[in-house]
Amino acid sequence: MLLSFVTMLTVAGMSIGAFSFAQTITPLGCSVGASSVTGAQAVILTATGGNGSYFWSGQNLNVTNSAGNQFAVSYPNPGVYPITISSAGQTATCNVNVAASASTGSIACTPAVQTVSLGNTVAVAVAGGNGVYNWTSPDLTIADPGGSGFRANYATSGLKTLTVTSAGLTATCAVNVLSNRVPSPIPAPVTPGLPNTGGGFGR
């Protein structure tokens, strides 16, 4: 009888422990910030669901921060570019639709996507439009928002967006600001010395 009781407690404890380590995984999804963009214009992709850890991949795709839930990408040529995201054994795919740029009346923010370390200077410029521009960014105070380009520094890391408008046209470029934190050095292993007994050969 005592053995059965102990066995029952052991089984119950194992079950409770197993449930305590269960992880909630929601369905994985992928969304594109714009239904269509022109060549060399940035578009932002966002992941939802999974377990919070993501990996992005795609043809001719170079993702600097491939583990984040967001990143920006641009393609120079028209076409449909599938991008796959993986998380917790699930996969999802979303398509970036790149349309041909208009021969006239176009506007472009360059570079469309760039990556800098925190504290480094970002430089952007605009081409096209009618020569009258307005720059905006939710993470940045722009001293001269009416210029054809500017240089600035972001105070925080993360994915930043810049939008420029001219003659009713809009273009967006993105900046991936990486944290420049230096990892703490790993201390060298300490080898314990032998105790000094005060004696020894020749003493």
Q: Please list, in sequence order, all residues whose beta carbon lies within 8 angstroms of the beta carbon of residue 153, skipping any fewer than 6 positions away.
A: 119, 120, 121, 122
Per-residue pLDDT of the chain (203 residues; tens, 9 = 90+): 544 443 343 344 444 444 444 567 799 999 999 999 888 888 999 999 999 899 988 877 766 566 678 888 888 889 999 999 999 999 999 999 999 876 667 899 999 999 999 989 999 999 999 999 999 998 888 888 999 998 988 999 989 999 999 999 999 999 989 887 544 444 444 444 444 434 433 44
pLDDT of residue 135: 95
User: Are 26-101 and 104-180 equal in CATH topology?
Assistant: yes
pLDDT of residue 131: 92
CATH number for 104-180 (one of 3.40.640.10, 2.60.40.640, 3.30.1330.100, 2.60.40.10): it is: 2.60.40.10
- Sheet with 107-110, strands from edge to edge, namely 107-110, 122-128, 149-152
Q: How far is CA 40 from the centre of its chain?
A: 19
pLDDT of residue 65: 60
User: What residues does each domain of the chain span?
Assistant: 26-101, 104-180
pLDDT of residue 104: 65
- Classified by CATH at the fold level, domain 26-101 comes out as Immunoglobulin-like (2.60.40)
Structure tokens at 155: 């105070």
pTM, two decimals, is 0.67
